[in-house]
């Protein structure tokens, strides 16, 4: 039996009053039980705003809200908060989220379990509609800088994300942990113009995502980062992503140190100790812009505007026993991945991806089952962010300078790969656009052993493709090397 005070709620007013009431000193927890009832909104506002510790919300259906349950630390640390056996229907922006809005605060011991999330219709969906979003620092262009914020001990298990039954619309993002997060990404704010990406010493640790089912997602099914983008010394460590089933358009599982979707300076950010195990990923129709990828691991993903990124790492990663079905890319490892041809003088330097094990995975029906690049610059100029990207000024020496990139200590072991074009692709530098890449190295500690390959029915079926430079358009690459030869 839980030592708590149970309050049965029947409407939004009773729910709001229960969360606002003074804590009962005699009760360990406040337990809010909806007994399966529906709490309805008008498409605006938040169903439950939680700013206190030791709370359980269960058996509530949240319908027609902008946000479902927000767990917000803006004046004190929060801990021991559970959302379980709830339903979220037509929630426009975020179903359940955590956010820290003041320096020095911690949110810990959070559980979102056995809940159901149904996407809104395409007409009503928010800018980046997400079922579950865990953030440390949640900031926008008007916020002051934040530092020393922590999200610790998170359980996100056995949740089910469903398409809308009316028009088949799915969530933009499924389950995310975005660490130091520019919230303009979610709420129609001007993310590209903001200059307040100033979060330092953000930490996420001990996060688990187990047994979730994502029945379709436009962009990413499970997305786990130290920052989006943060500023300096943002870290994430101790992540378990296991036994999930994800149907996806762009990417099923995406993990990295930092995704940089806007201008800023990023320094000394890191991701460490990830276990990605026993997941099943199933491709739907590919999205219009992104290469369709089952599981992606990267140190830095750079997406828009002028940026300077230095001294970031991703290390100690295991990708094991997953069933990866794919059309384009099965499992991707990239130290640096840039989408748009970033404008001058963007600079990415001293970035590493190391100690990664890819073992005992079943990868089938993907053109490129295992794709590994130290540096990958797509060089795109399409209107990915809603506007046509300006062309490069040819009087300038380059658009993006990439230097001193390392991918090392990689083990690819006992995978089964069949029905493919190229089983394993390994490159030091693959670049388009006007990028200048130098000293990008894959190796020397690369081990490939015991992998089983089958040429399958395709005419073009190659077991491996290894290159130092593969350059297109006006890209320049010098002193980029794959060190060492290998056999599968």
pLDDT in tens, 274-290: 999 999 999 987 665 67
30-34, 142-146, 187-191, 448-452: lowest mean pLDDT where?
187-191
pLDDT at 184 over 90: no
19 Cβ contact partners less than 8 Å away, ≥ 6 residues apart:
30, 32, 48, 49, 50, 51, 52, 55
Overall domain count for the chain: 1
Asked if residue 488 is part of any domain, the answer here is: no
Cβ neighbour number for residue 212 with a 10 Å cutoff: 27
On the CB side of 428, CA atoms within 13 Å amount to 23
φ and ψ at residue 18, rounded to 5 degrees: -65, -40
For residues 2 and 31, is the Cβ–Cβ distance under 8 A?
A: yes
Nearest by Cα to 312 from 332, 280, 336, 284: 336
pLDDT at 456 over 60: no
Q: What is the rounded average pLDDT for all residues in the chain?
A: 91
- Is the model more confident about 386 or about 352? 352
Q: Which helix (H) or strand (E) holds 469?
A: strand 462-471
On the CB side of 256, CA atoms within 13 Å amount to 27
pLDDT at 227 over 70: yes
Cβ neighbour number for residue 282 with a 10 Å cutoff: 18
For residues 258 and 298, is the Cβ–Cβ distance under 8 A?
A: no
387 Cβ contact partners less than 8 Å away, ≥ 6 residues apart:
none
How far is CA 69 from its chain centroid? Answer: 20
Query: How far is it, in rounded angstroms, from Cα 342 to Cα 304?
Result: 6
Percentage with pLDDT > 70 across the chain: 92
Nearest by Cα to 259 from 357, 150, 173, 160: 173
56-60, 163-167, 298-302, 341-345: lowest mean pLDDT where?
341-345
DSSP for residue 16? H
Asked if residue 178 is part of any domain, the answer here is: yes
- Is the model more confident about 199 or about 406? 406
pTM of the predicted structure, to 2 decimals: 0.96
How far is CA 263 from its chain centroid? Answer: 19
For residues 232 and 275, is the Cβ–Cβ distance under 8 A?
A: no
Asked if residue 392 is part of any domain, the answer here is: yes
Asked if residue 173 is part of any domain, the answer here is: yes
Report the pLDDT value the prediction gives residue 49, as an integer from 0 to 100. 97
Asked if residue 419 is part of any domain, the answer here is: yes
pLDDT at 266 over 60: yes
Report the pLDDT value the prediction gives residue 233, as an integer from 0 to 100. 96
**Which among 37-46, 151-160, 195-204 has the top mean pLDDT?**
151-160
CATH of the domain at 84: 2.160.20
Residue 105 burial (10 A CB sphere; 0-12, 13-18, 19+): buried
384 Cβ contact partners less than 8 Å away, ≥ 6 residues apart:
289, 303, 304, 339, 340
Report the pLDDT value the prediction gives residue 296, as an integer from 0 to 100. 97
For residues 206 and 153, is the Cβ–Cβ distance under 8 A?
A: yes
Asked if residue 487 is part of any domain, the answer here is: no
φ and ψ at residue 212, rounded to 5 degrees: -85, 155
Read off the pLDDT of residues 121-137 as tens digits, 9 standing for 90 and up: 999 887 789 999 999 99
Report the pLDDT value the prediction gives residue 173, as an integer from 0 to 100. 95
Q: What does the pLDDT average to over 162-181? A: 94
pLDDT bucket at 264, cuts 50 / 70 / 90 = confident
Q: Residue 289's domain spans which residues?
A: 4-482
Asked if residue 39 is part of any domain, the answer here is: yes
Report the pLDDT value the prediction gives residue 262, as an integer from 0 to 100. 79
């Amino acid at each position: 039996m839980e030592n708590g005070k149970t309050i049965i709620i029947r409407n939004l007013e009773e729910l709001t009053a229960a969360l606002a009431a003074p804590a009962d000193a005699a009760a360990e927890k406040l337990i809010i039980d909806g007994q399966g009832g529906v709490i309805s909104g008008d498409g605006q506002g938040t169903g439950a705003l939680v700013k206190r510790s030791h709370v359980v919300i269960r058996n509530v259906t949240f319908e027609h809200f902008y946000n479902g349950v927000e767990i917000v630390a803006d004046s004190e640390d929060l801990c021991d908060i559970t959302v379980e056996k709830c339903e979220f229907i037509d929630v426009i922006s975020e179903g359940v989220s955590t956010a820290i809005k003041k320096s020095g605060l911690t949110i810990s011991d959070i559980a979102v379990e056995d809940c159901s999330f149904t996407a809104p219709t395409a007409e009503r969906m928010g800018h980046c509609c997400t079922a579950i979003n865990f953030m440390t620092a949640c900031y926008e262009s008007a916020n002051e800088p934040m530092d020393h914020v922590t999200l610790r001990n998170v359980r996100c298990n056995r949740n089910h994300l469903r398409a809308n039954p009316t028009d088949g619309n799915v969530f933009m993002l499924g389950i995310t942990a975005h660490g130091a997060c520019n919230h303009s990404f979610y709420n129609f704010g001007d993310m590209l113009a903001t200059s307040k990406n100033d979060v330092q010493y953000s930490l996420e640790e001990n996060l688990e995502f187990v047994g979730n089912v994502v029945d379709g997602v436009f962009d990413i099914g499970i997305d786990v980062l130290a920052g989006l983008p943060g500023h300096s010394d943002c870290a994430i460590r101790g992540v378990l992503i296991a036994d999930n089933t994800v149907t996806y358009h762009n990417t099923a599982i995406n993990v990295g140190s930092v995704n940089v979707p806007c201008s800023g300076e990023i320094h000394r950010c890191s991701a460490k100790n990830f276990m990605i195990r026993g997941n099943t990923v199933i491709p739907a129709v590919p999205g219009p812009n992104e290469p369709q990828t089952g599981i992606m691991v990267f140190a830095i993903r750079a997406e828009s505007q002028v940026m300077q990124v230095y001294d970031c790492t991703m290390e100690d990663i295991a990708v094991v026993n997953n069933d990866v079905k794919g059309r384009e890319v099965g499992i991707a490892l990239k130290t640096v991945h840039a989408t748009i041809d970033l404008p001058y003088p963007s600079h990415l330097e001293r970035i590493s991806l190391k100690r990664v094990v890819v073992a005992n995975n079943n990868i089938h029906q993907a053109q490129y089952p295992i794709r590994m690049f130290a540096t990958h610059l797509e060089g795109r100029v399409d209107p990915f962010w809603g506007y046509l990207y300006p062309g490069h000024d040819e009087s300038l020496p380059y658009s993006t300078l990439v230097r001193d990139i390392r991918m090392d200590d990689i083990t690819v072991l006992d995978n089964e790969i069949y029905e493919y074009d190229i089983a394993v692709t390994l490159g030091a530098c693959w670049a388009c656009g006007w990028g200048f890449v130098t000293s990008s190295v894959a190796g020397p500690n690369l081990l490939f052993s015991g992998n089983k390959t089958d040429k399958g029915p395709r005419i073009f079926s190659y077991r491996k493709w290894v290159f130092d430079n593969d350059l297109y358009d006006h890209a320049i690459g010098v002193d980029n090397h794959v060190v060492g030869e290998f056999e599968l």
